[in-house]
Structure 1
Amino acid sequence: MPDFDVVADVSETLRSVVTAGLSTLMPPPAPTAEVVDLLRPVQSSSSAKVTIFLYEIAEDPSARNRPYLRRPAGADVELQRPPMALLLRYMVTPWSGDWSTDQKILGRVLQIFYDNAILSGPQLQAGLAGTSEAIKLTLAPITLEDRARVWYSVQQPYRLSLTYEARVVNLDSVDIQGARRAREVAAQGAEASA
């Protein structure tokens, strides 16, 4: 059951999947992926890397208004709000110092996310490992103006990058209410016939 740390768990899952997928790029050393907040400058190093930046969290409108979950609790029933379905929007950026290598890295990331459009089972990391959750990845381009705003907001120069949505990420509610089971149903207005 996904808890409040589910957002960080999805980020860690993406980092792991991208790092594993980039391991096939030649020549070595292969780029690695890291989750960043872009508020601090990305450390330049001799090896290429890919940053994964969570820039927006939203509620998935297609999953709103789901019914309460009912669970037996002895002779009664517990009612729990359904999980909040989240959309996580990520910006994936290569950092190699060379435009050609950056574009090759972006091409490989596109392949990785296309081939692994639904992450589940052993691909899931951290608190999602061993759960039945599935994360659907979709390329979600934003306008150049919106992309420039993201870079401007973190006071970094614009860089070529990809934007992806991860959905449906469920965040469990802690709102649980007790309810009594109905024991008898009485029909009102019905008279007994003799």
Structure 2
Amino acid sequence: MGKYTVIAEVSQSILALLRNELSPELIKKYEQINLCNPSKPEDVKVGIHLYDIQENSDFVQRNMIQKSNNELQFPPQSLTLYYLITVYSTADRQSKAVDEQRILGRVMQILGDHPRLENEALVGSLQEAGETFEIIRENMPYEDKIKLWQFPNTPYQLSMVYKVQPVRLESTKTKPIKRVKDVSIELKGEDHEHKSSR
């Protein structure tokens, strides 16, 4: 369960994974793999764009969490993060398409070989919390990808869509509870009635 930084840290964890696996073999400068808006890739060769966040009903937690002996914490929000991963090549016109397809193939291979983000693959507070996140490729039709690509004056680039879940965003809302100190027990029978307190 993460703090308000959990969304940014999941994005940074995906970024770190792709940088470690792609650079320097396919992409010499790791800075060319970055979080960015697809309409402004600048010097980016692999862009990671968080385009949507939705509540995930499959992982909803309804029970309160015992934070201490005197306090309960409200359950976290369960989220799914949706990413558009786009490849941009700076190669010449003749080899540009092949270069982009090679890089995209490697990205798909990396994320396919790492279906979970966990342990040392996580950054920041997520590693301390021992969280685990699933990385799932969305088989989105081309027409739906085009609808996502609402960037003026920017031609569509071949992209892949991935979702990461469950991302739990903790609540800051708590509820005080009182500890039971006295218990009263009443025993009833046919011939006697006994009441004791402790």
Instruction: Look at both structures and tell me which one has the larger radius of gyration over its CA atoms.
Output: 2
2:142 equivalent among 141, 144, 147: 144
Q: Tell me the TM-score normalised to structure 2 length.
A: 0.83
> Structure 2: any 5+ residue segments left out of the alignment?
91-95, 193-198
Instruction: Name the residue aligned to 2:116.
Output: 118
2:68 equivalent among 72, 76, 83: 72
Alignment of 1:147-158 (within 5 A): 147-152=145-150, 154-155=151-152, 156-158=154-156
Q: Tell me the TM-score normalised to structure 1 length.
A: 0.84
Alignment of 1:167-178 (within 5 A): 167-178=165-176
Q: Distance in 2 between matches of 1:184 and 1:64?
A: 36
Residue type of the partner of 2:133? I
Deviation of the 1:23 alpha carbon: 2.2
1:80-121 Cα deviation digits (max 9, x unpaired): 112211100001000014111111111111111111111111
Q: Contact 1:22 / 1:30 at 8 angstroms: preserved in 2?
A: no
RMSD: 2.2
Q: Contact 1:89 / 1:165 at 8 angstroms: preserved in 2?
A: yes
Instruction: Name the residue aligned to 2:196.
Output: none
SS at match of 1:129: helix
Q: Distance in 1 between matches of 2:100 and 2:180?
A: 63
> Structure 1: any 5+ residue segments left out of the alignment?
none
Instruction: Name the residue aligned to 1:49.
Output: 45
Alignment of 1:1-194 (within 5 A): 2-23=2-23, 25-26=25-26, 29=28, 32-38=32-38, 40-43=39-42, 45=43, 49-73=45-69, 77-97=70-90, 98-152=96-150, 154-155=151-152, 156-184=154-182, 191-193=188-190, 194=192
Residue type of the partner of 1:94? V
